[in-house]
Every structure is written in C-alpha cells, then in structure tokens.
Amino acid sequence: MNQNLDNQFSKENDAINIRAEIEKYLINWKWFLLSTIVCVSLAVVFMKTQVNVYQTNASVLVKEDGGASSELKVFQDLSSLGLGAKNNVYDEIEVLTSRSLAVAMVKKLKLNFEVYQQHGLKKVEQFHTIPFRYQVLSDLDNFYKLDTFIDITILDKATFKYQIEESEDEKVVKFGEQIKIGDKVIVLTPTESNSNQIIDKTFQVVFTRLDKVIEKYKNNINIVSADQDSNIINLSLSHPIKEKAELVLNTMVDLYNKRSIEDKNEVGKKTDEFIVNRLTEVNSDLDEIDKIEELYKKDKQITDIGFQSQVFVDSKTLNEQEIFKINTELSVVDYIIQSIQNQKNDFELLPASVGIEDNLQLSASVTNFNQLLLERNRLLRDSSPANPVVQNLNSELKNLRGSIQQSLINIKEQLEIALTSLNIKDKEFKSRITDIPQQAREYRSILRKQSIIAQLYSYLLQKKEENEISMAVTVPSSKVIDRAYSMSKPIAPKKPIIVLAGMLIGLIIPFAIIYLRDLLDTKFHTKGDLKGVVSVPLLGDIPFDDTEEKVVIRKGSRTSTAEAFRLLRTNLDFMLTPVGSKSKIVFVTSTISGEGKTFVSVNTAASLALTGKKVLLMGMDLRAPKITQYLDLPNRNGVTNYIIDKDANLAEMVTPLAGFENLDLLSSGVVPPNPAELLLSPKIGEMFEELRKMYDYIVVDTAPVNLVTDTLMLSQHADMFLYVSRANYLDKRMLEVPERFYREKRLPNMAILINGLDHSRGYGYGYGGYGYPAEENNKNFFQKIFKS
C-alpha cells in the first residue's frame, strides 16, 4: 500500500516537473512568436533572391548490335561492317560522363560565357536576349583560363562602359573595340537584342575557367541506367533556364553519337585505303599485260588462232588459272605481311584479308583484332595506359597479332606447296601440247593472264563499293528515345520547405536560448526549484517589485507586495501560536547579504503594527548595520551602546518610527571592534527579557548565517527564525545551508520565505489580481521578458 502511494506521489511530482518545464517556455511565447515571424520573413526574403530551377530530361537506347542494316548482313566477309558487336550500357554511361565529351560540349556551346542582370533581389542569367557576343583575339587556350566578371552598362547602341573585377577603373568604349583583361584580348559585338530598351541597363558578364565549367556540368548532369537489365540511359540536368538545359543535353547526345560513328568508320577507312592501293597495283598490271598483247599481235601479225587440242589446252588453262590464282593469293599474302611488318607499332588497325580464299578464320581474327583495338583506343580517351583493362587488351592484342602473322605464314607455305604441285602438272601439260604452235600457246598465255588480272580488278572494285556503302549507312551506337524536354513546374526553391524550415528555426532559436540560459543559470527562481532540495517549511513568498518605496505596506495599500506581507503576517501568527508567550521574537536572517532580509524585517514589523499590536524593529547585525541606512535615519545609540554601557537605559534607546503607529526602532548602534565577544555578554539575555515586557512582537534583523556566527550565538532567544532566500539571486547550491541548519535544528522554529519571486516564471494566481486590483502599471513586454 505504501509502495503504491510512493509511486503515485512520484508520478505526480513528475507531472508537476513536466508542467513546470512546459510553462518555462510558454511564458516566453511572445519571443517564440517574434522569432518565428522574423525567421519566416527571412525565409521569404531568401526565396525572393532565388531563381526557379527546372529539371530537364532526355533518354537514349543503347543498341546491342553494331548498327549495320539487316540488308548488309550478306557481306559478312567484309570485316568493316562489324556485325554482332555488343555494347555495354555501363561502358556507354562512362563515355557519356567522360571529361573529353564534356570539354567538347562546353567549347561548342561556349558555356564559359554567361550574362546576368539584376531583377529585384535576383540575379538572373540572360540567355534569350543577350545584348552582345564576344570574340577572342588572343590565344584561345590561354583565354579558357580566364576567371573573372565585368560589369557593363549600355550607354547607347554603339557605346558602353565597363569595369573589370577588382579594378577601380571604369572605361568607356565602343562595340568592336578591343578589351584587354590581363594578357587576354576580347571584342564585344552587339546583337539584335541591343535595342533602346537596354540603354542605361547594367549587365554582369561572367567568364569562368574552362575546367570549372566542365566540373560543374559533369557534376550536375545525372546519367543513370533506367534499370539494371535495361539498355536505356536517362540523362537529367537541373538549371534555371529550360532552353539552355535542353541545348546542353541535346548537344551532349549528338556529340556522343557523332563520335560513335567516327569510331566505327575507322576500320572502313583503313580497308578503303588498302583496296585503293591494291587497285592501283592491279590496274598497273592490267595495263602492262594489255601492252604485251598489243605488241605480240603486231610482232606476229596475228588476229586469231584456231582451237587445237582443245581438251589439253582447256585442262592446261584450268591448271594455269589455278597457278595464277595462287600467285595472286601469294601476292596478297606477301602484301599483307609486308604491311604488318611496316607498321610502326603493334597497335595499328590491320587491313582486311581481301583476295585470299578460304580465309574465314583469318578474316575473323583480323576483325576481332580491329574491334579490340578500337575498344582499347576508346578506353584510352578517358583513362591512362596503366588501366588494368587497357593492359589486358594490350596483352590480348599482341597475342592476336602474333597469331595473325603466323596464320599468314602458314597460308603462304600452303600456297607455295600448291603452286609447286601445279607447276609440275603444267610441265606435264606442256609436254602433251608440243604440237600446238608456239604462237598460239604464247598468245593464249597472254589472254589468260589478262583475264585473271581483269577479274581481280573487278573483285576489288566490288569490295570498294561495298565498303563505301557500309560507311554511308553506319548508324550510332544509341538511338534517341526522347530529345531533351523540361518540366513545367520548378523543382527549386521548395517554398513550403523553406518556409517550414524558417518556422522551425524561429522556434528552435528561442528554445535553445532559454534552454542554455537555464542550463547555465545556477540561481533558483521559483518555488519548484526548492522542491527536492530543502525540506524547510515554506512560509510564503514576496513578489518582485521594482518600486523605490522602502516600506511597501501601509494603511490602504493594495499592491501585490503589500498583500504578500499581509499573508506573511497571517502565516507568522500560525507558526507562533504554539509558542504560548505573550511577546514573540522573530529573527530574520539569510544565507548571504543582499537577499532582502532588512526589507523583509522592516515590512514585516510594519504589517504587524497595522494590527494594533506593539511592535519593535530591532537591528542585531552589529558588523554591518542596515536598518537606519535603509530607512534614511541618522545613526543613533542602540544595542551595542546598551551592552557596553552599564548605566544605559534601554527604553531611552528605543525611538518610534515616524509615520507608523505602534512601531518602534532599536538600532544596532555603533559598530564594535569585537562583535562576536560582545554578543556573549549576559546583558543580551537581559535585553530580550526586558523587551518582551514592553512589546507584543519583536522583529530582529540579524546577520547572514553563512558569513558569520553572530546569528547562531543569539538563536536561543528567538521564538521563530524567518529565513529569507531571494529568488533570481541566491545560488541553488547555497540552499544546502538552510537545509543543514533545519536538519541540525540549530535555528528554532525555522521557516523559509522567498523574496523577489517573479510569478511570471512560475505558476499560481500571484497577487493583486484575485479580488484586489493591482496598483502597478502594466510593464512593457520586453522588460518583462528580460527580467524573466
């Protein structure tokens, strides 16, 4: 049962503490309101300084094959078509985010040049109505290092004045005249937008370092895959100007596709170069054989030779065709081997193996080598040769190149063996056609050579045309799904969030100030601060009053302070009832000086005198007398004089206080050199016994108990101790002093009185408003807050 009551009491105390914590902030609600209004206003002003930012999106589809049309798949023997090549989506994203592509885009659009104009609180970029353009007359690479701004004011259609950043000189020039910025020279030329409407307008021209602009757009352009298994790439850019953002994304995609086409056409160009060289050589051979035929006919004077020994001749013809064919293939093989050996390094494109039959494996190897080399060159644009992927490709390319060379050598050896065999057969045929006239044999030999060379020439022309067709129909690796488009609603600034942030900051600032103030504050302020710290009975509290009156309670006084002393008087009677004696002595003390014990002593005595009782106000602080000084009275004989002078008359030392009935004063007298020893005098007891006979109440103003022992030496003469603790003044740690005295019972019938309590910080009705009109004027709101 007792445990349940303790738990309930603990919960009630927790509820009271929570309520006190909440009220601690609620009493400052006006500061919260003011801070919120100011912060929300600043948030609104901040929004006025921000331009709207819109999001622009675009999307492309990365194709899985190399981009050749299905109709050209019949030319699979032509390696330059690159059929079946795969594109990795993530590799293409890396290409799109590469620095080289960003450099090309920034230079093409001249994004390092921007023009701004002040519109109210905003500095807005001009994109559609730029009044002038610039031209660079100095070194362009050096110009890209320029990082400054120029303030330009248009004076008329032909003249403007400008001032360069960090320069105090303002110059007036005409459009077309040179402007020197350090070692860089530019010229501004007017545009169609340079009309009368911009005269006297000021613009800020900003030139930004190229590397800064590149990093800005590389970081701001978001390029991601639509899905893990998707070949679609989404591009987005947030920018205040929709059209500029769309132009940036479209230009980036166009440059990417253009580079993709150029990469694919490199193999075709190399193959075309090889075919042209071969055509030149074959054409020369064809011209030579034609001349031989012409000379032979002129020399022998023949026009036609009959067919003799048709079977042997035809067989020999077929054999010789094979010989010529193999010779031609040997020539091609020798040419390809020589071309490979003449290359300066191992990483150059190889010509296609045109003119070699049964070379599918060799053609596939050459195609694979060229594709890997193109992939390696593309990676080198965005990475260093130390890249592990590049190193792996280098190793693979070297192995593949060696394999191709060995294959060519093997093919050459096979052709030479076949040629030897055919030559043997040719000798056999010659021995069988000895009867054929030598002229006919020689002439047909010329014709056969002419036919073979003509067929080779026709074949090369066909392959050249196929190569040109493949280059003409080459398409990029990606297909644009959506050209750049912008959202209609801005994505920034987020006005509701900014206002909400301003509101939250407005609430947090006063909350933090109040919290830190209370955290660092060591003074006690309210009755709640005493709970759990002292167990001394609480007799009452005196509200804070900034009046200059020394005695606040008089007849007819209705202030909150006067009512507090009347309540104190009632509580004193209740505390003194068990004493039983007719005369009652109340000692007033405090922990330290400055807590208002003299103020409490004077007004307590005045409140008791108003009841018609005879009251004595007595000063017993012999070290620092305060009563006469407090009441602006001259110093007079008092307690000290009575103790020292054996013949002193106590009644003669007591003087009535002017303006108060039934209230007398006995001051402490002169300050003695040995107050502690003086208070041990037996005359102290005699003095109190005599005063008890003269007065109903004796209110004694004593010294602070934490500074000297004077009060403790007199404690046996007191019927009650009124312990004054001043709110907003006494350190909470000093509350241990009255608690210790109370537990040790060193001060009889002790009760605590809170002085200077500010009821706006605590809770309760207070004084002067519950049935009694306050005589105080309402204080200014800011004064109340600062005093709290």
* Residue range 215-263, pLDDT digits in tens: 999 999 999 998 888 889 999 999 999 999 999 999 999 999 988 888 8
Tokens 């659009």 correspond to 109
Q: What is the mean pLDDT of residues 544-558?
A: 83
Task: Say which range, 91-100, 423-432, 507-516, has the weakest mean pLDDT.
Answer: 423-432
pLDDT for the residue 743: 93
* pLDDT tier, 656 (very low <50, low <70, confident <90, very high otherwise): very high
pTM of the model: 0.55
pLDDT per residue as tens digits for the range 108-161: 999 999 999 888 888 899 888 888 889 999 898 999 999 999 999 988 888 999
CB 398 within 8 A of CB 430: no
Report residue 701 as tokens: 């103003």
pLDDT for the residue 397: 77
Q: What is the mean pLDDT of residues 431-438?
A: 59
Cα–Cα nearest to 528, from 759, 749, 250, 742 = 759
pLDDT for the residue 311: 60
In the predicted model, is pLDDT for residue 264 greater than 80? no
Cβ atoms within 10 A of the Cβ of 180, count?
A: 12
pLDDT for the residue 437: 61
Q: In the sheet where 697-701 sits, what is the strand order?
A: 538-543, 750-757, 720-726, 584-590, 697-701, 615-619, 663-666, 655-656
* pLDDT tier, 569 (very low <50, low <70, confident <90, very high otherwise): very high
pLDDT for the residue 131: 85
Task: Say which range, 10-19, 219-228, 374-383, 645-654, has the weakest mean pLDDT.
Answer: 10-19
In the predicted model, is pLDDT for residue 3 greater than 60? no
* pLDDT tier, 390 (very low <50, low <70, confident <90, very high otherwise): confident
* pLDDT tier, 300 (very low <50, low <70, confident <90, very high otherwise): low
Q: What is the mean pLDDT of residues 161-181?
A: 90
* pLDDT tier, 292 (very low <50, low <70, confident <90, very high otherwise): confident
Task: Say which range, 54-68, 175-189, 345-359, has the weakest mean pLDDT.
Answer: 345-359
In the predicted model, is pLDDT for residue 209 greater than 50? yes
Q: What is the mean pLDDT of residues 707-732?
A: 90
Helices (H) and strands (E) in the chain, counts: 22, 21
In the predicted model, is pLDDT for residue 83 greater than 70? no
In the predicted model, is pLDDT for residue 99 greater than 70? yes
CA–CA dist 485, 237 (Å, integer) = 10
Q: What is the mean pLDDT of residues 345-352?
A: 71
CA–CA dist 10, 180 (Å, integer) = 81
pLDDT for the residue 698: 95
Q: Which has more confidence, 661 or 309?
A: 661
In the predicted model, is pLDDT for residue 325 greater than 50? yes
In the predicted model, is pLDDT for residue 359 greater than 70? no
Element (H, E) at 225: strand 222-225
Length of the chain: 788
CB 741 within 8 A of CB 591: no
* pLDDT tier, 303 (very low <50, low <70, confident <90, very high otherwise): low
Percent of the chain with pLDDT over 90: 34
* pLDDT tier, 563 (very low <50, low <70, confident <90, very high otherwise): very high
Q: What is the mean pLDDT of residues 188-203?
A: 79
Radius of gyration from C-alpha coordinates of the chain:
56
pLDDT for the residue 360: 67
CB 635 within 8 A of CB 685: no
Q: Which has more confidence, 396 or 600?
A: 600
Q: In the sheet where 478-486 sits, what is the strand order?
A: 222-225, 232-239, 54-62, 478-486
* pLDDT tier, 345 (very low <50, low <70, confident <90, very high otherwise): confident
pLDDT for the residue 76: 47
Q: Write down the mean pLDDT value for the chain.
A: 82
Which residues 6+ apart lie within 8 Å of 313 measured at CB?
307, 433, 436, 444
In the predicted model, is pLDDT for residue 68 greater than 80? no
Report residue 58 as tokens: 């675009």
Cis peptide before 351 (omega within 30 of 0): no
pLDDT for the residue 775: 40
Cα-based torsion angle of the residue sequence 483, 489, 494, 495 in order, rounded to the nearest 10 degrees? 160
pLDDT per residue as tens digits for the range 662-683: 999 999 888 888 888 888 888 9
Cα–Cα nearest to 618, from 671, 668, 579, 550 = 668
* pLDDT tier, 432 (very low <50, low <70, confident <90, very high otherwise): low
Q: Which has more confidence, 779 or 353?
A: 353
In the predicted model, is pLDDT for residue 614 greater than 60? yes
CA–CA dist 245, 235 (Å, integer) = 11
Q: Which one-letter DSSP state was computed for residue 735?
A: G
H helical segments located in 580-734: 597-609, 627-630, 639-644, 650-653, 675-678, 683-694, 710-713
